[in-house]
Structure 1
Amino acid sequence: MNTFLIQCFTFLLLITYNITAQNNTEAVIGSANEWPMSGGPNGNYKITTNKDVPLKWSVRTGENIKWKKTLPEGGQSGIAVWGYKLFLTINPPNTNPKHKDVLKKYDVVKNRYEFLFKKEEEKLKKIKDLSYANLKENLAEPLKKWQNLLKNNSHYQKASSLERYDIKKNLMRKNDVGKDYAIFNNKLVAYIHTQSQNLQKTYDSLIKIGKDKRGGASSKNIILLCLNANTGETLWEKTIKGTFSSQYNYGFSDATTPCPMTDGKNVWAINASGGMACFSMEGELVWERTWEPSSGGKPFNKQFDSVLFEDLILNVEPPEKEDKERNKDWNYVHAFNKLTGERVWVTKMAITHYNTPIIGKTKEGKPALLIGRGGPHGVPERPIGLSLICLEKNNAGNALWNWEPKENNALAGWGALSTQHWDIDKASWFYKGNEHITVDTQTGKLISEKKLNTVDQFNYDIEKGKYVLSEEVKIKELQNQRHCNILDGDYLFYMVRYSPFIARHNVATGLNEHIEVPRDIDRDNNFIWKIQHTNNGLNSKGQLNAFDTRTRGNGFQKCFLGSPTMINNYIFFTNAVGMVYVIDATVEEMNESALVAVNDLGKSGKTWTVNTMSYANGKIYHRTMKEVICISE
């Protein structure tokens, strides 16, 4: 190719890039090199830049780590960046004891209880107590069935040892075999307790300290932190009030889930427990407001993330009490004037707690927000499906179109659990487990429906020391990390739940590809394959304020991870134990060439995160329960 043709080709590429850039004009003016909200300048978690992009780093070794800032308590929000300031939210610190001290105390009481229990049981055996013998006999068959149930329950078998406690509790509460076992076992235990007051008192003490052992903390309020982006120094902090108390660091979101927002003049923070506030960049309060989340805030799997668009702040809330037009038990998108906190408009179409809407532009260049309805645990909003909400001032808040799946909520409603990624041609929607569909974003009509559970799988063979392709693998009970997904052209990328794979689905052809990723990295920077590791769920002070055992999973456990971030052609996936997988979205096959880097955010077994990564001015900002991290080459 001669020089003239090369110049022409380059010119055409620049034109194409500029057209794309115009279609993705940043939602926050002047934010091209900043990260003003959860989804970045465009609100879609994607950015194109000529600046440096760190691809490889390690908090464990210090590689490409500019600074780290220890946090006094955990949180889940993303990090907003403007100039030399970072904004994020945490839960309020408390005086709960260190978990290691609780464990020591628990072990002492537990050993005492088991000694006394065994002593009383031996007495009953020795005297051949008929009541004890009958209870023991009655328990034999339910115990056998219970053991078989656990052995054959795939959910229980796949779960980590930490998760199994809650799974067993749920089975004893909901499953007939589990209920039967619990009844007979409780009768036996209760009878043995009647033999000794000391045993009963010790048992009561064990139950009490057992609650402390499980951990947990809650608060109505959250804290907005402003840090120096160059050093991590705390510049100021402010309280964002809420209206009901919520648990810290729940694996499916907490009050700190929404990322702060900034336009370089002010900063806004949302407390998902029912609060919102605006501050100057120096921390002076401009306005604040509170509201009552629907149904007492339950289910609290509230994944709506912040959206800043022009002069509006978007939030998800129930309708105002005096609103007779909307269902009082449903949630809607509310738009507020960013400078006054005054409500400007409310959508007529509802949105579910679980949904993470995405801002974008239609083919005609109209700004819009894609929202969804549906999901488990009795979310009430109907009809299930999608709505594209117009953001143009003359039609703001109204639906450009609505789409409903033919299948019922139990199958189709799971699409509302996804981060609602879309582009000028299509929108993405998951069916439960095995299917994915695309919807035309011009018309709201169904484009295609494709299977997800027949895949070309690139597995790492440890003995051979390389990837091996297995074609057309049939996967049963496929689980997708609903929020850890992103759409790029005809390709949908997502993290697989319960198994260490990143998936790529071609929405046009239906081709599915999975690449296995390592679980961890050893001290010599070698990948660790197949072997699960969990995290301890502790904050920087050694407290276990994350009460749900699922928080302490293996990185691919059941939780709501934040959206991946896409910088140029690289997609950054972060799992719950702080491993960040960098994927090249342009590869022909999802083989070893797709896995660009595997990075860590902290020590193995001691790191937890569910937030989305931020990028600004050549630097990556990330966080865990323990610290904020600045990554720079």
Structure 2
Amino acid sequence: MNRIIKLAAYLSVFVLWFSCGTNQESITTISNSENQWPMSGGPNGSWKVETNLDVPTKWSVRTGENIKWKKTLEEGGQSGIAVWNDKLFLTINPPIDTPKYSEVLELYAIAETNYESLFNQVEEVLKAKNDRQYLKLKKALKEPETQWKNFLKNHKHYQSVSELEKPTVKANLMRKQPIGKAYIKHFKKYSTYVHEQSEALKTVNSEFEKVKKLKRGGASAKDIVLLCLDANNGKELWRKTVKGEISSDYNYGFSDATTPCPITDGKHVWAINASGGMACFTMNGDMVWERTWMPSTGRPFNKQFDSIMFDDLILNVEPPAADDNSRIKEWNYLHAFNKHTGERVWVTKEALTHYNTPIVGETFDGKPAVMIGRGGPHEVPERPVGLTLISLEKENQGNAIWNWEPTETNKISGWGALSTQHWDANKVSWFLAGDDHVTVDSKTGQQIDKKQLNIVDQYVFNVETGKYELKKDVKLIHHQNQRHCNIMASNNLFYMVRYKPFMAKHNTETGKNEQIELPHDIDNDGNFIWGQPQKNDGLNSQGQLHTGDPRTRGDGFQKCFLGSPTMINNYIYFTNALGTVYVLDSKADTFDESALIAVNDLGPKGATWSVNSLSFANGHIYHRTMKEIICIGD
């Protein structure tokens, strides 16, 4: 009998352990959110879910494969998609009535022709007059101009970027390179002298500069638009404006005012405007409350932070309130607001960088907490660089459980704060400038280990043989191994590499690094395109160029902030900036072609852009681009 009792006890413990191991519900899970996607990271804010439902892994918007419906969006946006039963929530930038880019290009061609024609006429007059100053400046310009043209001709990066991106790259090179500085110095003297000889040329040049500005694109607004759509067909049910305080550029490659995902608990929906606003609505779109706040300025103020709800609290990243004299005005902190009233409940004493994306989770002893980080570029002021685990337990909410500071300077260690701050009950992930990775004990805040990231086994695709080849112990140099976006699965850290089409896997215990090369795109016949950087038009669904940041029009692995990967069961979904979604098996024994489950598209080749995370609810994947929202899975 004793043996039977012991066996029963053992089995009950095993069943409890097994259910805990396979069910993602935790103390941070939003009530009744099974099969829903209530906020940026899903039901428990971790970007990880486990389900018995069928999970789409293969689809194509281009061919219609496994696509239930698509809905055109009037304007771009970057928020995730919150899902509750039959309703979807997302945000876009306000539509603006500006000319289509094709019309702008026509205007530009006319203005350019008029300007160049008149400029040439003035030059001919100066030549006929044998103007000594003109001839002297023209002669002085010849050699710097030749050297500059040859420099651009042989500059690989400049030649590889899209036509829309080239003017910005050229301007940066001109500002930094001695050859560019010499050319622009002589060109300005020469051009200024020619313009001074003709009032008509000055007028035409002024008009040409206006059209040049239109050609560069861009739009901005303080407010954003919250959309509610029918999850069954994408039909718009209602839309509401969420006010902001500072005008924000549309579709900036590093987040814009629409970045935070809406939040819903099935009774209400909340939206955060990164330009300085929050609002709460009923599920039918009735306003409950709204508030505005002033974001930090003087640096890129839009943030990589994404939405978090815990119990009756909405968490947000803001500077201190105007009447708060106990915190530093120029710094950002984690604020908690009562979701029912919008009243501020608490503010952390420790600051966090606006680039940082905190993640809620459960500590080793089963208590709720949120991880925040400090450090980064553009002279972000929040200090000290490092991590803080903030308690969400009722008796200690908003207070630090521990703080960790790296020994390295911000230039090296601050990279970790640019991450989505994934952690679990045992460890926290922190990057050091692309070459090293640090693991911190999430129980104590003590550093566990530091391991290299830049010595890797690479699986590189050989186009001639049509097979992957293993290259062992490849040494990567800094920019060759910058990380894009990251997620942890057990002892493995996965991240997309920036600038190079590779996915990386780092084992935090053994230090083993593996990378697999990814195809850049898929051709019209469904074949992978290898080793050929792609481009996109940067246009919204109306054909307008409302993004003024040319980096949005790079090759998909360009410098930008991509949303967190989403993990469904053992599959991890990474989306690059061209809307190519790579599905990886986190449990693959070897990080070779067996780990690459599928490569999917979110829209037409050369006309798709996205920096979003996907959402999974009710057996469907919901994703978006600048042009449309997509429901995946029949």
Task: State TM-score, norm by structure 2.
Answer: 0.94
5+ residue gaps, structure 2, are 1-9
Q: Kindly indicate whether the alpha-carbon contact (under 8 Å) linking 2:222 and 2:243 is maintained by their aligned counterparts in 1.
A: yes
The amino acid across from 2:246 in the alignment is F
Which residue, 279, 282, 285 being the options, matches 2:281? 279
Question: How big is the shift at 1:244?
Answer: 1.2
Q: Superposition RMSD on alpha carbons, in Å?
A: 2.2
1:210 aligned onto 2:232: no
The change in CA–CA distance for 1:260 and 1:22 in structure 2 (over 3 A counts) is closer
Distance of 2:434 and 2:165 partners within structure 1? 21
Q: Kindly indicate whether the alpha-carbon contact (under 8 Å) linking 1:27 and 1:42 is maintained by their aligned counterparts in 2.
A: yes
The amino acid across from 1:620 in the alignment is I
Q: Kindly indicate whether the alpha-carbon contact (under 8 Å) linking 1:23 and 1:365 is maintained by their aligned counterparts in 2.
A: no
1:223 aligned onto 2:222: no
Question: How big is the shift at 1:479?
Answer: 5.0
Q: Which residue of structure 2 lines up, in the alignment, with residue 4 of structure 1?
A: none
Alignment of 1:162-201 (within 5 A): 162-173=164-175, 178-201=180-203
SS at match of 2:169: helix
Alignment of 1:324-403 (within 5 A): 324-403=325-404
SS at match of 1:415: helix
Q: Kindly indicate whether the alpha-carbon contact (under 8 Å) linking 2:22 and 2:50 is maintained by their aligned counterparts in 1.
A: no
Question: How big is the shift at 1:247?
Answer: 0.8
The amino acid across from 1:54 in the alignment is P
Question: How big is the shift at 1:140?
Answer: 4.9
The change in CA–CA distance for 1:479 and 1:288 in structure 2 (over 3 A counts) is farther
Distance of 2:233 and 2:124 partners within structure 1? 64
Distance of 1:24 and 1:38 partners within structure 2? 16
Q: Kindly indicate whether the alpha-carbon contact (under 8 Å) linking 2:24 and 2:49 is maintained by their aligned counterparts in 1.
A: no
Alignment of 1:208-607 (within 5 A): 208-295=210-297, 298-478=299-479, 482=483, 484-607=485-608
The amino acid across from 2:455 in the alignment is T
SS at match of 1:294: coil
* Larger CA deviation: 484-493 vs 54-63: 484-493
The amino acid across from 2:605 in the alignment is S
The change in CA–CA distance for 1:14 and 1:525 in structure 2 (over 3 A counts) is farther
Which residue, 119, 131, 134 being the options, matches 2:133? 131
SS at match of 2:487: strand
Q: Which residue of structure 1 lines up, in the alignment, with residue 6 of structure 2?
A: none
Q: Which residue of structure 1 lines up, in the alignment, with residue 86 of structure 2?
A: 84
Question: How big is the shift at 1:448?
Answer: 1.2
Question: How big is the shift at 1:537?
Answer: 0.9
The amino acid across from 1:350 in the alignment is A
1:53 aligned onto 2:59: no
Q: Deviations over 1:567-588 (max 9, x none)?
A: 0000000011110000011111
SS at match of 2:551: helix
Question: How big is the shift at 1:505?
Answer: 1.2
The change in CA–CA distance for 1:81 and 1:124 in structure 2 (over 3 A counts) is same
Q: Deviations over 1:89-125 (max 9, x none)?
A: 0111111111101101101111222233334334444
* Larger CA deviation: 212-221 vs 150-159: 150-159
The change in CA–CA distance for 1:451 and 1:144 in structure 2 (over 3 A counts) is farther
* Larger CA deviation: 47-56 vs 501-510: 501-510
Question: How big is the shift at 1:196?
Answer: 2.9
SS at match of 1:478: helix
The change in CA–CA distance for 1:105 and 1:147 in structure 2 (over 3 A counts) is closer
Distance of 1:90 and 1:377 partners within structure 2? 27
Q: Deviations over 1:158-203 (max 9, x none)?
A: 6444333223323444556544432222111111222333332222
Q: Deviations over 1:567-616 (max 9, x none)?
A: 00000000111100000111111111111001010000111111110001
Q: Kindly indicate whether the alpha-carbon contact (under 8 Å) linking 2:78 and 2:610 is maintained by their aligned counterparts in 1.
A: yes
Q: Kindly indicate whether the alpha-carbon contact (under 8 Å) linking 1:26 and 1:32 is maintained by their aligned counterparts in 2.
A: no
Distance of 2:436 and 2:117 partners within structure 1? 53
* Larger CA deviation: 169-178 vs 189-198: 169-178
Q: Kindly indicate whether the alpha-carbon contact (under 8 Å) linking 1:453 and 1:478 is maintained by their aligned counterparts in 2.
A: no
Count of residue correspondences:
626
Q: Kindly indicate whether the alpha-carbon contact (under 8 Å) linking 2:484 and 2:497 is maintained by their aligned counterparts in 1.
A: no
Question: How big is the shift at 1:141?
Answer: 5.7
Identity, in percent, stands at: 62
The amino acid across from 1:289 in the alignment is R
Question: How big is the shift at 1:15?
Answer: 3.1
Question: How big is the shift at 1:126?
Answer: 5.3
Distance of 1:22 and 1:600 partners within structure 2? 28
The amino acid across from 1:129 in the alignment is D
Q: Which residue of structure 1 lines up, in the alignment, with residue 109 of structure 2?
A: 107
Q: Deviations over 1:363-407 (max 9, x none)?
A: 111111111111111111111111111111111111111111111
SS at match of 1:286: strand
Q: Kindly indicate whether the alpha-carbon contact (under 8 Å) linking 1:277 and 1:289 is maintained by their aligned counterparts in 2.
A: yes
Distance of 2:370 and 2:488 partners within structure 1? 15
The amino acid across from 1:387 in the alignment is T
The amino acid across from 1:76 in the alignment is Q
The amino acid across from 1:134 in the alignment is K
The change in CA–CA distance for 1:192 and 1:303 in structure 2 (over 3 A counts) is same
The amino acid across from 2:473 in the alignment is E
Distance of 1:240 and 1:59 partners within structure 2? 30
Distance of 1:507 and 1:180 partners within structure 2? 49
The change in CA–CA distance for 1:349 and 1:142 in structure 2 (over 3 A counts) is farther
Distance of 2:174 and 2:140 partners within structure 1? 17
Which residue, 66, 69, 78 being the options, matches 1:67? 69
